[in-house]
Structure 1
Amino acid sequence: VGPEGGLAELVVGEAEGRKVIFANQMDVDEEEDDFYFSDSSDKYHFREIFYVTINGERSGRVIKYNKKTKEVKVVMDNLLSNNGLALNKDGSFLITCESATGIVHRLWLKGPKAGTRDIFAKIPGHPDNIRRTPTGDFWLGLQCKNNLIGNLLVSKRWLGRLAEKTVNLKLLTALFNGFMPHGIVVKISG
């Protein structure tokens, strides 16, 4: 869709032979004309994201699309319900978080570490978004803090699969969130 409106055009429908099912968050490196976005699952859609979490389904990935060359490339994969993505201030790395585990992964895009990934932070909850601040730090929204039942559902895949088949989604979500809906905001240094 252009500045004057118009019809939307599909730019990326698949990457490396796998359909994009759950495109989630995007950031743009305007210098390089690279668009980075998260695809949280290639099996489940938005309304089913909770099943990704409790099944331990690691099809989440980060995809790069170059506007000039039209090249599409998976730059990070094997992620568990990744939700949120942001480039750092100088574009040398990006971060994405796994909602299920609270792990914030960093992928180096430039410099001597380019192409490598490491753990940027471990958050005591389940992140559900990332925004870079003007100073280069990052705000993370958390849907809830860690709790015993949520941790068990994520760490024991067989338990998550059993729960999916025997417990309704509303109750599962309440169990995962500790029966206390709440939100948390965390700021981490960039």
Structure 2
Amino acid sequence: PEGGLAELVVGEAEGRKVIFANEMDVDEEEDDFYFSDSSDKYHFREIFYVTINGERSGRVIKYNKKTKEVKVVMDNLLSNNGLALSKDGSFLITCESATGIVHRLWLKGPKAGTRDIFAKIPGHPDNIRRTPTGDFWLGLQCKNNLIGNLLVSKRWLGRLAEKTVNLKLLTALFNGFMPHGIVVKISG
């Protein structure tokens, strides 16, 4: 509220630079900041290439404000976008925009440190917000379509398309030529 200069807090994690810090949530009790780094190769304007190349450098990073410790808590994610802690702080979720998979990382309890699939969404999620009741809203940039699915599932096709098709047309193909958005609510 008072303003001031921005300060770089985390520039790299476990030897890899943070290139595309994307989404963040805070566990205020523990002073832990969790944020997604969607790619350590591509920047924001190039994120679509992460999707079609199958480049799995996405990760979730934890920064503790008290100890200044930086730790990768989830990795090997394909274009992860969106991150939210559960209402009780026992887990966090993050979604892969390319695959529609919502991953859950358990932070507390007997499953702490393990991850599983929380949901599979019929589209390409872009952001997550927790509701006051503990459910989650996910915005989808588009629904699944045949061409988009082929570009994601066949890495060679995605790499070929990157070299031969301009980005605007490639994005239109991926989105099914129909700009639209969808909002999905999933139970927490």
Instruction: State the TM-score bracket (shorter-chain normalisation).
Output: over 0.9
Q: Deviations over 1:105-157 (max 9, x none)?
A: 00000000000000000000000000000000000000000000000000000
Question: In the alignment, does 2:125 pair up with 1:127?
Answer: yes
Q: Give the whole-Å Cα distance in 1 for the aligned partners of 2:114 and 2:139.
A: 26
Shift of 1:46: 0.2
Runs of 4+ in 1 over 6 A off after TM superposition: none
Q: Give the whole-Å Cα distance in 1 for the aligned partners of 2:3 and 2:182.
A: 36
Shift of 1:21: 0.1
Q: Give the whole-Å Cα distance in 2 for the aligned partners of 1:6 and 1:29.
A: 24
Q: Deviations over 1:40-63 (max 9, x none)?
A: 000000000000000000000000
State the percentage of identical aligned residues.
Answer: 99
TM-score, L = length of structure 2: 1.00
Q: Give the whole-Å Cα distance in 2 for the aligned partners of 1:77 and 1:130.
A: 18
Alignment coverage as a number of residue pairs: 188
Shift of 1:6: 1.2
TM-score, L = length of structure 1: 0.99
> Counterpart of 2:5 in 1: which secondary structure?
coil
Task: Quote the RMSD (CA, aligned, Å).
Answer: 0.3
Q: Give the whole-Å Cα distance in 2 for the aligned partners of 1:27 and 1:172.
A: 32
Q: Give the whole-Å Cα distance in 1 for the aligned partners of 2:125 and 2:5.
A: 33
Aligned twin of 1:82: 80
> Counterpart of 1:90 in 2: which secondary structure?
coil
Q: Give the whole-Å Cα distance in 2 for the aligned partners of 1:165 and 1:109.
A: 41
> Counterpart of 2:76 in 1: which secondary structure?
strand
Which consecutive residues of structure 2, in runs of 5 or more, have no partner in the other structure? Answer: none
Q: Give the whole-Å Cα distance in 2 for the aligned partners of 1:141 and 1:119.
A: 18
Aligned twin of 1:6: 4
